Amino acid sequence: MTDATLENSPYAFVRKETLPQETAPLSVAGPLAWVRANLFSGPVNSILTLLCVYIVVTTVPEMVRFYFIDAVWSGTNRDACLADKIGRPVGACWAYIADRFQYFIYGSYPVPQRWRVNIVFAMFALGVVWLLWERAPLKKVGLFFFFVMLPIGAYVLLLGGPNAEGFLRWLIILTLVLMVVYLVLSFVPALARFWIGPAFLAVEEAQPPWKRFYRPKRLILLSLVVFGLIAILADTIGLPRVDTGLWGGMTVTFLIAAVGIVFSLPLGVILALGRRSRLPIIQLLSVIFIEFVRGVPLITVLFMANTMLPLFVPQEYSPDRLLRPLVGVALFAAAYMAEVIRGGLQAMPKGQYEGAMSLGLGYWQMMRLIILPQALRIVIPGIVNTFIGLFKDTTLVTIVGIFDFLRTIEATLVDPTWATPTTRATGYAFAAMFYFLCCWGMSRYSISVEKRMAAGQKR
Amino acid sequence: MPTETVQPGKASLLYDPKIRGYVYQAALLAVVGFLLYSAASNAITNLRAQKIASGFGFWHNAAGFDVNQKLIPFSASGSTYGEAFYVGLLNTLLVASIGIVLSTFLGFFVGVARLSSNWVLSKLAMIYVEVIRNLPLLLQLFFWYNAVLKPLPNPRQSIDLHFFGLGWPSPLLTGLMAIAAGLAWLLYKSSDRLANSDRDRGLVKLVSGVVLTVATVIWLVYSGILHVVSSGFLLNNRGLYLPDPQLGPGGSLIVWTFLIGIVASIIFRVWARKQQEATGKQYPVGWIALGLIVVLPFFVYLVTGRPVSFIYPEIAGFNLRGGIQIFPEFVALLLGLTTYTAGFIAEVVRAGILAVSKGQTEAANALGLRAGPTLKLVVIPQAMRVIIPPLTSNYLNLTKNSSLAVAIGYPDLVQVFTGTVLNQTGQAVEVVAITMAVYLTISLVTSFFMNIYNKRMALVER
């Protein structure tokens, strides 16, 4: 009989039920094991851990105490932040930041005119969100807004005065002329033969007139709206001239950064194309410019812009004091941007060029429609990185006497109204927070772009 | 079927790419040439209007200002602008070369720390990198100079770094610590035999490990390492004062022994490598180098009757006398540049190590190599290929960033030459051109040498 089962087996030592599960040994799982594996896995690691913990324990509570617990949050002058005046230990003097906050943002820009800066800030924010938000509509219109409308609008709004208003009037007339041209072209497409190839013309002609050249239509409408709004503002409230010597604070920091990116990107594209060109003279000139600028510090470029730019132009056109570092920063950033974009161009497979050529596209059409969109997309993280560097480098204009954000902080530190032993630490902490938030936000964005594009490449 | 042959035909000159290329280039040349010409002619007119002489005649004029830190003799009375240029250049090279060495060490440490299995250490390294890289260097320099070094006490109340005020360790404490460390080590080693379960073994190891660590750290600190390192170090708002070593009779012998030791160890290393390639026999290169470079000079130091004495800085009136003074501007610039660049180097190192595939480590382990040799012989050499090119550009960045010295008043090339000399002479074109030429030369020379090194390290493929 072989019906021996567990139940009727004569042997008592066969276990009939499973044992209750034991918890894993502490050295393998659980917090203790984690501590052992990650903190005390050997003598060297243990020493390092203790050293690190010592550093954290000695610094963090002290910083929390200084910047939060003992901090002074309100007050109107230095008396609020003096230990012997308020009778307790004083940490960070946030009252000073609150009092000087407007100055940090606008510098010496006249108080009744500050709404103009706010409008520019709003436009800037709109442009940034438009471009950076992945699912925002009409991306190309957004590009036009950020790279053309914003600089022009900011120039007219921030500077004001008869010059800017004349410029604005001229722009509106130009836009109206463009609109007329567009209308004529839409109904008589044969006229567009000069800059649209015959192949494209056929496509355009197959469509009803109101759908032809739809892109310029939107751009022209946008220009009309923006210029019209500014013109109405100028007419109703008036835009008196505010000299650049009065500009300061975050306004100038953002201005330099924005000018840097707006001009360095197209200039960088041109330089990168020039460097990869097969025409020897164009290539040589591009290489010389890029290597020269990349080989010298930004400070010397700024000194050059500051001292030599006025020499190189006729006396009567001597550039504005704020314009000089702007030129320097834009040229400097362009050289770095060119190298980033060159990387993207080099990453393009040859087949893309050949495919474009086999379609019968010319050099500029090939670059504009096939190569650059792909190449630029590859190097977005690199462009953002360059931009982070540029944003940090805007602080250097301090050295040639421009009142950027860091300079306004430095200026308030020596102001006797708020001179206390802790003002300096507070001011630098505030500046650090500002720059950290901007730069860290940008680097996060570039990482997220990188991840998103990597997801598309995954098989 | 009639075949239609398409004749390529002579294209119109307007569409010939070659002709177009010539036209484009000629146009560009014309534009650039016109810009240069008008800039030059404007400059000449403007300079004439401002009555500024052009040319390099100012080079031999008397400078009439003084510089606090100078590596060559320089004085307000007798020195020329040319000498001011050399003073600035040397100061730039000094801070850049020291900064490169320090930031390399710190950067490699932080980069490896971010990859460490030690959780606290890697998180701290991450915070360091994120904070440092996202703040402008100028802000960091202002912080070091204005917020850290300037508020230090005046020379009369100098902070004595002498052992951080802890005093000599008592023999009793030292002994107790030694005993505790010894017991903990025994416990750690024998935990397998002492404990019954995995759980107890883990506990014993954990506790004994912690005790061992604490004991070792305290013991090391208290056995006087800090005493040896920091005696006679004074810190105040005029800078850092170090003991000034004076060589007595026979003292130069120590220096010579040291130098000969370095040369001998290099020769020995080359010889040992050749031997290993020929016979497979390994020699203890590290130990012999240590003996030649450290122990031998120390032995000579003892034999020659300890001929090295120190002049310690001491308070004299309102200032300090004696010792080597390191100016706060230099300290601030060096601190700022080093910590800033190290943040970038750390990321370069991390990327380089991550780029070495895990299979390489596993293969090395499969061959029986321990962690140390795996890192040294397998991972690092391959990581270096990825690390070197970006490391080079970080070195160049550090050198260029040293020009920020002008903001805190360290007399580097830009501060002395493009700042003071330019202001005094007004010869903007010449001064800025010379400054830029110097940085360009440094850049080109550095990349030239790093490219040679890079080529030597590069992967040789079929």
pLDDT tens-digit profile of A261-314? 889 999 999 999 999 888 889 999 999 999 999 999 999 999 999 888 888 888
Count other Cβ atoms within 10 Å, centred on residue B311: 14
Tokens of B73: 């003799």
- Taking each helix axis from N to C end, the angle separating A280-295 and B428-457, rounded to the nearest 10 degrees, works out to 100
Pair B96, B331: CB distance under 8 Å: no
Q: How far is B116 from chain A (nearest CA, A)?
A: 9
Cβ contact A363:A273 at 8 Å = no
Above 60 in pLDDT, residue A2? no
| CA dist list (Å): A375 to A368, A378, A379 | 11, 5, 7
* Distance in angstroms (rounded) separating the CA atoms of residues A46 and B216: 11
Q: Please check the confidence at residue A211 and state whether its pLDDT lies above 80.
A: no
Instruction: Please report where in the chains the tokens 């200002």 appear, as a residue.
Output: B65
H helices, E strands: number in chain B: 19, 8
Residue with tokens 């610094």: A59
Partners of residue A280 in chain B, C-beta under 8 Å:
25
Closest CA to B259 of B292, B305, B300: B292
Q: What are phi and psi of B240, to 5 degrees?
A: -105, 130
B407-451 pLDDT, tens digit per residue, is: 998 998 999 888 888 888 888 888 889 999 999 998 888 888 877
Question: Which residues, including other chains, have CB under 8 Å from residue A88's CB and lie 6 or more apart?
Answer: A70
Beta bridge partners of B134: none
The structural domains of chain A, ordered by start, are 1-61 (no CATH), 101-108+244-413 (1.10.3720.10)
| Mean pLDDT (whole number) for A311-320 | 83
For A259-291, give one letter per residue: b (16+ CB within 10 A) or e: bbbbbbbebbbebbbbbebebebbbebbeebbb
Q: What is the DSSP letter of B13?
A: G
The distance from CA B292 to its chain's CA centroid, rounded to whole angstroms, is 26
B64 phi and psi, to 5 degrees? Answer: 75, 20
A158, A120 in Cβ contact below 8 A? yes
Contact between A445 and A380 under an 8 Å Cβ cutoff? The reply is no
Return the pLDDT at B57. 78
Report how many Cβ contacts below 8 Å link chain A to chain B.
Answer: 198
A410 φ, ψ to 5°?
Answer: -60, -40
> In terms of CA atoms, which chain A residue is nearest residue B215?
A47
Cα→Cα distances B437→A300, B29, B444, B445, Å: 10, 24, 10, 12
Greater confidence (B304 vs B173) lies with B304
Six-digit token string for B271? 């010889």
Instruction: Inspect the interface and report whether the beta carbons of B137 and A26 lie closer than 8 Å.
Output: no
- A339 vs A276: CA distance, rounded Å: 11
Residue A456 neighbours by CB under 8 Å, 6+ apart: none
| Torsion, Cα of A125, A126, A130, A134 (10° steps) | 50
- Cβ–Cβ gap B136/A406 under 8 Å: yes
Residue B330: name the closest of B64, B97, B85, B134 by CA.
B97
Q: Is B4 exposed, middle or buried (0-12, 13-18, 19+ CB in 10 A)?
A: exposed
**What pLDDT sits at residue B164?**
47
Distance from the Cα of A432 to chain B's closest Cα (Å) equals: 6
Residue A28 near chain B (CB below 8 Å): yes
Q: Spell out the SS3 assignment of chain A.
A: CCCCCCCCCCCCCCCCCCCCCCCCCCCCCCHHHHHHHHCCCCHHHHHHHHHHHHHHHHHHHHHHHHHHHCCECCCCCHHHHCHHHHCCCCCCEHHHHHHHHHHHHHECCCHHHHHHHHHHHHHHHHHHHHHHCCCCCCHHHHHHHHHHHHHHHHHHHHHCHHHHHHHHHHHHHHHHHHHHHHHHHHHCHHHHHHCCCHHHHHHHHCCCHHHCCHHHHHHHHHHHHHHHHHHHHHHHCCCCCCCHHHECEHHHHHHHHHHHHHHHHHHHHHHHHHHCCCCHHHHHHHHHHHHHHHHCCHHHHHHHHHHCHHHHCCHHHCCCCCHHHHHHHHHHHHHHHHHHHHHHHHHCCHHHHHHHHHCCCCHHHHHHHHHHHHHHHHCHHHHHHHHHHHHHHHHHHHHHCCCEHHHHHHHHHCCHHHCCCCHHHHHHHHHHHHHHHHHHHHHHHHHHHHHHHHHHHCC
User: pLDDT tens digits, residue range B173-185?
Assistant: 667 777 777 777 7
Contact B332, B149 (CB under 8 A): yes
Band the pLDDT of B101: cuts 50, 70, 90: very high
- Provide the mean pLDDT of chain B: 81
Pick A406's closest partner by Cβ from B139, B147, B404. Answer: B139
B103 within 8 A of B320, measured Cβ to Cβ: no
What confidence score (pLDDT) does residue B436 get?
A: 92
- B308 or A406, which is more confident: A406
Whether residue A339 is predicted with pLDDT greater than 80 in this model: the reply is yes
* Phi, psi at B27, each rounded to 5°: -65, -45
CB A260 within 8 A of CB A323: no
Contact assignment for A50 to B213 by CB distance below 8 Å:
yes
Residue B102 has pLDDT above 60, yes or no: yes
Contacts of residue A314 in chain B, CB cutoff 8 Å?
Answer: 42, 45
Considering only the beta carbons, identify the residue of A312, A398, A431 that sits closest to B407.
A398
How far apart are the C-alpha atoms of B145 and B328, rounded to whole Å? 7
Spatial distance between the Cα atoms of B449 and B460, rounded to a whole number of angstroms: 19
CA distance B457 to B392: 14
Q: Which residues pair with B207 in a beta bridge?
A: none
Nearest CB to B28 within list A282, A298, A313:
A282
Q: What value of ipTM does the predicted structure carry?
A: 0.86
- Rounded Cα–Cα distance for residues A151 and A230 (Å): 13
CB contact under 8 A, A52 and B428: no
pLDDT at B165: 45
pLDDT category of residue B167 using cuts at 50, 70 and 90: very low
Question: Does residue B126 carry a pLDDT above 90?
Answer: yes
In the prediction, which pLDDT does A253 show? 94
Find which of A220-234, A419-433, B158-172 is predicted with most confidence, using mean pLDDT: A419-433
Percent of chain A with pLDDT over 70: 91
Q: How far apart are CA B349 and CA B388, in angstroms?
A: 9
- What is d(CA B245, CA B324) in angstroms, rounded to the nearest whole number? 9
User: How many Å apart are CA A176 and CA B203, to the nearest integer?
Assistant: 83
Are A390 and A260 in contact, with CB atoms under 8 Å apart? yes
Query: Looking at residue A134, what is its pLDDT?
Result: 78
Amino acid (one-letter) located at B22: Y
Question: Is there a contact between B25 and A52 if contact means CB atoms under 8 Å apart?
Answer: no
With contacts defined as CB-CB under 8 Å, which chain A residues touch B218?
none
Q: Return the sign of the alpha-carbon dihedral for residues A367, A368, A371, A375.
A: positive
What residue type is A199 in one-letter code?
A: A
Contact across the interface for B400 and A297, Cβ inside 8 Å: yes
In percent, how much of chain A has pLDDT > 90?
A: 27
> How buried is residue B350: exposed, middle or buried, by Cβ count under 10 Å (0-12/13-18/19+)?
buried
Q: Rounded to an integer, what distance in angstroms lies between the CA atom of residue A302 and that of residue B363? A: 53
Q: What is the pLDDT of residues B309-363, one digit of tens each?
A: 777 777 777 777 777 888 889 999 999 999 999 999 999 999 998 988 889 989 9
Q: Which amino acid is at A239?
A: L
Q: What is the mean predicted confidence (pLDDT) over A335-359?
A: 91
Residue showing tokens 């430095």? A410
- Under 8 Å CB-to-CB from B25, ≥6 apart: which residues? A279, A280, A281, A282
Cβ neighbours around A406 below 10 Å, total = 26
pLDDT number for residue B166: 47
d(CA A268, CA A341): 7
Look at B218 and A251; give whichever has higher pLDDT: A251
Give the whole-angstrom CA distance, residue B266 versus residue B187. 42
Q: Does A246 touch chain B (CB under 8 A)?
A: no
CA distance A251 to chain B (A): 17
Give the ranges where B145-240 is alpha helix by DSSP (H): 171-189, 191-194, 198-220, 226-230
- Which of the pair, A434 or B182, is modelled with greater confidence? A434
User: What pLDDT does A273 receive?
Assistant: 93
Residue A225: pLDDT band with limits 50, 70, 90: confident
How far apart, in whole angstroms, are the C-alpha atoms of residue A331 and residue B432?
Answer: 17
Using the 8-state DSSP alphabet, how is residue B117 labeled? S
User: Position A36: which residue type?
Assistant: R
Cα-to-chain-centroid distance, residue B107: 9
Residues 307-346, chain A: which have Cβ within 8 Å of B? 307-308, 310-315
